[in-house]
Amino acid sequence: MAQIRLVEIAENPIGVPAVEAMVADDRAGAVVTFSGNVRNHDHGREVVRLTYEGHPSAAEVLAQVADEIASKFDLIALAVSHRVGDLAIGDAALVAAVSSAHRDVAFQACAALVDLTKEKLPVWKHQIFIDGTDEWVNCA
């Protein structure tokens, strides 16, 4: 089973290169990294900022997600971090990285890690639009 090197609900900015470096290993033929960034639009509306709020169980749920992915794929290492708090346009909200001996496994595992995180993580997004309106979204 893969080494889980980071599972984190972070209040500070996530360093994408640092998360990627956590899964580096001489046995790895592939390292796949995903960075889900705050974009400046949603459904045709201009977003100016947002806040993520997490349930107190968020870290535990993220650890369960990491365990599930680590047990399903032939990985060397896995790391995942999700931000909470105020984020600016362009900030990384979710960073996931995996390493494997082979690229196909690494791509599949990283996609599964992101998808399962978005499905299960109890984190809510509060978007503020340019016109001053806002919206809450249950997502990760």
- The pairing of strands 123-129 and 45-54 is antiparallel
The domain that holds 58 is classified in CATH as: 3.90.1170.40
Contacts (Cβ under 8 Å, ≥6 apart) of 43: none
What ranges make up the beta strands (E) of the chain?
3-10, 30-37, 41-42, 45-54, 77-83, 85-87, 92-100, 123-129, 134-138
Tell me how many domains the chain contains: 1
Q: What predicted TM-score, i.e. pTM, was given to this entire model?
A: 0.95
Task: For residue 19, give the 3-state DSSP assignment.
Answer: helix
Q: Quick one: pLDDT band at residue 1, thresholds 50, 70, 90?
A: confident
**pLDDT tier at 12 (50, 70, 90 boundaries)?**
very high
pLDDT of the residue at 139: 55
- Tell me the per-residue pLDDT of 80-129, one tens digit each, with 9 for 90 and over: 999 999 999 999 999 999 999 999 999 999 999 999 999 999 999 999 99
Residue % of the chain over a pLDDT of 90 = 96
Tell me the per-residue pLDDT of 30-83, one tens digit each, with 9 for 90 and over: 999 999 999 999 999 999 999 999 999 999 999 999 999 999 999 999 999 999
Provide the sign of the torsion angle of the four alpha carbons 101, 107, 108, 113, taken in this order: positive
Report which of 7, 11, 4, 35 is spatially closest to residue 84, judged by C-alpha positions. 11
Domain that holds residue 45: 3-138
